Structure 1
Amino acid sequence: MEAIAAHERLLGDMVAAAAAQRAVLQALYQAAGLDEGKGEGSIAPLAPAGGGSGSVEIQADLEARLFGPFEAECRGRTLAPWSSRRAASLLKFLLLHYGRPVRREVLMEAFWPGSSPKSARNNLNVTVYQLRQKLRAHHPDRTHIVYRNGSYHIDPEFCCRIDVNDYNQSVARGHQAIDRGDRVAAIKSFHEARKLYAGPLLEGDTSGDWYMETQRRFHIEHCAVLERFCVLLLEHGDVGEAVSVGSELLGTDPCRETAHQLLMRAYAALDQPHLIVQQFRRCEITLRRELSVELSETTVQLYRTLINGR
């Protein structure tokens, strides 16, 4: 009974930690001038990634994948190869800011820092022309990139679907399901988000550091999502999937001590004491090597409880 009580206390601590992480993410959104659940890749509403009651499926003119290596299709045809890498980068930038105009000066500074205003403006004009020509080759008779009042944005009539937006929607639905006590719906939504996150935002992109802060923000959020997902799976009794999610989380953030704790709990549920010991030692070695810190008392106490409580 003591072991069960200890497990329940730990679970409560982890749920509280997840709530605290969500509060941090909300603060990050507010600091960046964003609404919760609407990251910089927010786009016009389309059907949710997993469907849903009352949703209307809309055929997108352009589909883009920004998690992992960049991919884009216009009317089912791949937008590759790119004769102008800068035009491709401009499209990525505008997709990440879909629905919000981007000042010309912001683009000039992002892609031509240190250049004179005249030179940067000329380069931007050429790049916008190249991007328009690229899109017109697949989708003629439309402007695609609109310039108004000193700002650029994608034509709202040019319907886009972006994996970042679907990811944001899935995460938001997961948090909402938890808030109303619907664990099954939350698991489904976080499962969708996990599939959509194919890797770091614009992985391998070499067009500059303009996207790095957004990439970091998504990394932080996704780690929090995976951790909360793992807790839900353990609560639901899906231990095998919890091990998979916990392992993926540690692959993304090896020093996340709470992820090591979750895997130790999962191995206890599977009655695999040797794996509990291995995970405990792996956590200890990783924290010492990477952060030069010792294990927390919470992890040590959990380990003792799991081993002695058998």
Structure 2
Amino acid sequence: MPGHSNSSAPQPSLQPPLPGIPNDRLCNELLGASDAAADTGDLATAAAHARTAAMLAASAGLASHLRAAQLRQGRLALLAGDREAAADWFRQAGAPDADRTPPDGAARADPGARLWGRLRHTWRAPEPQRSPDPAQPAAHLAPQLAIALLGSLNVSVDGVPAEGWNGHRTRSLLAFLATHRDPWPHREALMDTFWPDSAPEAARNSLGVALHQLRQTLRTATGDPVVVFSCGTYRLCPGLGLWLDCDEFDLRLRTARDAEDRGDKTDAVTDYEQALALYRGEFLAESPYEEWSALYRERLRLAHLDALARLSELHFVTGRYVPCAELCRRLVELDPCRESAHRRLMRCLSRIGQPHLAILQFRSCAKALQAELGISPQRETAALHDRLRADLPV
């Protein structure tokens, strides 16, 4: 996550959870934000936006957006004075090697090749080495580990996916390491977490087998070590950058709430949409019975519901009733007894000329409350229903 010592760009499989909010639009907004930050000299923020755009583009199969994000990161490396890193990014974007001449027309058709060709001529003569400015963060972060734990597990290193996962335990072990970084867990902590009822020797053997299987799977993405043992603890290799969708989800929610606090509804909407795009499902959904993950799963689930509610309210107060109604439908599907969402949906339906559907929504609300809690709708909800039946404005 941006601001953490292990940040990165990724390739999990995302799908836009909100109708009408496609990933290509989110990518464009992130790339624009990256350009704006770079123009002000804030390279750290620019790199963070570019990394997230690359993650969304790679996971959604948006090749042109992925290339644009990689070219942005090459530009940021140039601004930071790191030519070697810039060359790596431009090559990833599809530029040919420095000693290979592209076929006729290729340089004209390929923006990466075109840019690489220009850079080759400007880099012929070496310049004196400059001492790095400690106040200016480098734009390049070498090898990038991306882990998506919301929904099905997706892991990649520099965009190459890890494949051949063997059982839930290896998935859960990697997830535990990714979410327990301060401090990193000791061997005994892992044994107590995953094999609490086993004898110490059996638990140690089981941990060794699980670690071996995890490392074998990660080797399908990179030949470099990913999980290492250091200072008595198991950890992700410090030479890797880390992008974790849970961290990014939390960050987007914080920035959205900060934007709300300062009255910036536009930024708040953008950040909430980006957070919701990251939430592809419950935390570690493929391992729902691991005890250690229960609190993480519930915290993130509640944060997701809160984000849906806050974004729907922002749409409602700005008169965007159709997207508000879509969000409220999502919310009552996930939390059928949330009366505030039912009421907002009823108001939206009435304001877009569908009062009959608003009345039916009240009946759905009453049915859910009776079935789940054995209670009737609140007085406020019943009064709203009465106004709708009387054809009064709501």
Provide TM-score, normalisation by structure 2.
0.63
Whole-angstrom CA distance in 2 between matches of 1:296 and 1:85 = 43
Q: Structure 2 matches for 1:1-310, cutoff 5 A? A: 44-46=6-8, 50=30, 52=33, 53=37, 54=42, 55-56=46-47, 57=50, 61-83=144-166, 85-98=168-181, 100-140=183-223, 142-205=224-287, 208-308=290-390, 309-310=392-393
Whole-angstrom CA distance in 2 between matches of 1:235 and 1:206 = 37
Q: 1:247 to 1:104 in 2, by over 3 A?
A: same
The structure that has the greater radius of gyration is 2
Answer yes or no: is the 8 Å Cα contact 1:264–1:279 preserved in 2. Answer: yes
Secondary structure, counterpart of 2:292 in structure 1: coil
Answer yes or no: is the 8 Å Cα contact 1:43–1:161 preserved in 2. Answer: no
Query: How much does 1:76 deviate?
Result: 2.6
Whole-angstrom CA distance in 1 between matches of 2:369 and 2:207 = 46
Q: Which segment drifts farther, 160-169 or 207-216?
A: 207-216
Answer yes or no: is the 8 Å Cα contact 1:69–1:205 preserved in 2. Answer: no
Whole-angstrom CA distance in 1 between matches of 2:325 and 2:317 = 13
Whole-angstrom CA distance in 2 between matches of 1:203 and 1:88 = 11
Query: How much does 1:149 deviate?
Result: 3.9
Whole-angstrom CA distance in 2 between matches of 1:238 and 1:97 = 40
Whole-angstrom CA distance in 2 between matches of 1:276 and 1:166 = 36
User: Which amino acid is the alignment partner of residue 360 of structure 2?
Assistant: Q
Structure having greater relative contact order (Cα 8 Å, sep ≥ 6)? 1
Deviation per CA, 1:13-67, whole angstroms, max 9, x where unpaired?
A: xxxxxxxxxxxxxxxxxxxxxxxx99xxx87345898353232145662222211
Identity %: 30
Secondary structure, counterpart of 2:234 in structure 1: strand
Aligned residues: 270
Q: 1:191 to 1:275 in 2, by over 3 A?
A: same
User: Which amino acid is the alignment partner of residue 152 of structure 1?
Assistant: Y
User: Which amino acid is the alignment partner of residue 112 of structure 1?
Assistant: W
Q: Which segment drifts farther, 170-179 or 291-300?
A: 291-300
Structure 2: 5+ residue stretches without partners: 10-25, 52-140
Whole-angstrom CA distance in 2 between matches of 1:246 and 1:127 = 42
Whole-angstrom CA distance in 2 between matches of 1:181 and 1:292 = 39
Deviation per CA, 1:136-168, whole angstroms, max 9, x where unpaired?
A: 45322x432233343222123211212212211
Corresponding residue for residue 3 of structure 1: none
Q: 1:61 to 1:46 in 2, by over 3 A?
A: closer
Corresponding residue for residue 111 of structure 2: none
Deviation per CA, 1:210-265, whole angstroms, max 9, x where unpaired?
A: 21221111111111111111000011111110011111111111111111011011
Corresponding residue for residue 21 of structure 1: none
Structure 1: 5+ residue stretches without partners: 1-36
User: Which amino acid is the alignment partner of residue 125 of structure 1?
Assistant: G
Answer yes or no: is the 8 Å Cα contact 1:99–1:153 preserved in 2. Answer: no
Whole-angstrom CA distance in 2 between matches of 1:193 and 1:162 = 13
Secondary structure, counterpart of 1:294 in structure 2: coil
User: Which amino acid is the alignment partner of residue 210 of structure 1?
Assistant: W
Whole-angstrom CA distance in 2 between matches of 1:203 and 1:135 = 20
Whole-angstrom CA distance in 1 between matches of 2:263 and 2:191 = 47
